[in-house]
Amino acid sequence: MTLETRLYRTGAPQNLPWVAYQDGDGRWQALSGQGGRYAFSVRDPGGRYALAVVCTNPALQNARIQIVHATVKELSTPAVNCLFPRNSTEVRTVSGKVSHFGDADWAIVQVTGSGSVDGPEAANPGYSVEAGPGSQRLVALAQRRYGHDTNPWASRALLKNLELSDNLSLDLSFQDPATQTQPHTVTLEGAGGDAVIQDTKFHHPANVYNPDLGSGLRGASSHLYGGIPEAWQLPEDAHMAYAEAYVPGEGRGRSTTTTFKAPRDLTLVLLPHLGPVEVRPEAPAGSLARYRFTWEPYAADLYFAEVSDLATGGNRWQALVTPGWLRGAEYHTPDLSAAPGWNPAWNLSPASPRSMARLEAVRASRSVNEAVQLSALNFPGHLADGLVWQSASRVVGLGQ
């Protein structure tokens, strides 16, 4: 059977520096593609295959190695998204002053798809953000700070379409009552006594930074957010409600995310904690470092196994593994050193004092095939509306 994979960089189709695949337990073979599309054959009787992709970050001189281990039955259209941003060769500046904050204390101003963001206040209303030339969309959210009668949330919103042929001077005002957002509540269930982080963001797949519509107070079981009317949104826009509950100092965590278009009240539900996870080195010192993950059985649609060196900002390996590909509750990072075109600079290093491993078990409200596609596209609102993504994870130190 011939499969086609699609590769993306921040949601846009693009060839990546190195791609290889494995049919069953066979040798790794290099792949070439066009416009982010790569085709390969799977002849393994059980439909088992693997795909490895290198995503480089020129700014930090490091690489992320993203691997997929799956069966054809579970994942017939594998997709991978490189989250390192594309470089923009041209930049335009949008600047001005913000007025009529009303009951808000400050504002978030950004251009969709840009990493540039500013936070003007009533006492210092000037702002300046950068974006590439052409058609752009500016988002300004008036925010209430901590210290009011509820959590911080966006009470007003301005969304403006821009044509940036040159730098632009643009003053913004929240005076019009039509800028008021639609307040709704997100409630969290299942946190128990864990520490909690929760927020709702205005999401777009091309964003480097998604601005807050509301964020929960410490220890709270719910939070208020300012909903953006669906009529104001681009098709790809969405609200993204997120909650994370973790045990401080133990590396145990759970999270849940719901993506939705129309503003509404919502309940987020956390999964049970993942049991003990053990990660041990397998390769001798001086070679490509490899690791073996083992864990207690835990029902999931997907697993993510990750190894990274936090001390050097070095390479990070992340594998997406489906239950049908696994042979028990264990996973071994692959040996890619003999694959054609492999660069030793992409190797995992032997464990250092700040090397970390992480195992995450995921349950999604869509099929594995659809959930992986939506993840690779960075959850566009018109396709991911209603998607629930729940996970439980463990972090393990490797250099102890």
CB 67 within 8 A of CB 46: no
- Give the residue from 381, 354, 334 showing the smallest Cα distance to 238: 381
Q: Residue 13's pLDDT band (boundaries 50, 70, 90)? A: confident
How far is the CA of 354 from the CAs of 104, 278, 310, 315, 351, in angstroms?
Answer: 42, 16, 6, 13, 8
Q: How far apart are CA 114 and CA 129, in angstroms?
A: 9
Q: Which pLDDT tens digit goes with each residue over 190-218?
A: 999 999 999 999 999 988 889 999 999 87
- Residue 84, Cβ density class (10 Å: 0-12 exposed, 13-18 middle, ≥19 buried): middle
pLDDT at position 10 is 59
* Strand partners of residue 2: 41
Q: How far apart are CA 216 and CA 169, in angstroms?
A: 34
* Strand partners of residue 268: 188
Domains, the chain, in order of start with CATH, read: 2-85+273-397 (no CATH), 92-179 (2.60.40.4130)
pLDDT at position 283 is 67
- Give the residue from 346, 369, 253 showing the smallest Cα distance to 61: 346
Average predicted confidence (pLDDT) for the chain: 89
* pTM for this model (two decimals): 0.91
- Residue 155, Cβ density class (10 Å: 0-12 exposed, 13-18 middle, ≥19 buried): buried
**Ramachandran class of 16: left when φ > 0, alpha when ψ lies in -120 to 50, beta otherwise:** beta
**Ramachandran class of 80: left when φ > 0, alpha when ψ lies in -120 to 50, beta otherwise:** beta
Pairing assessment for the beta strands 388-397 and 355-364 based on DSSP bridges: antiparallel
Q: How far apart are CA 392 and CA 398, in angstroms?
A: 20
For residue 303, the one-letter residue type is Y
Is the dihedral angle over the CA atoms 227, 201, 298, 68 positive or is it negative? Answer: positive
Q: Which pLDDT tens digit goes with each residue over 93-148?
A: 999 999 998 878 899 999 988 878 889 998 899 999 998 899 999 999 999 876 65
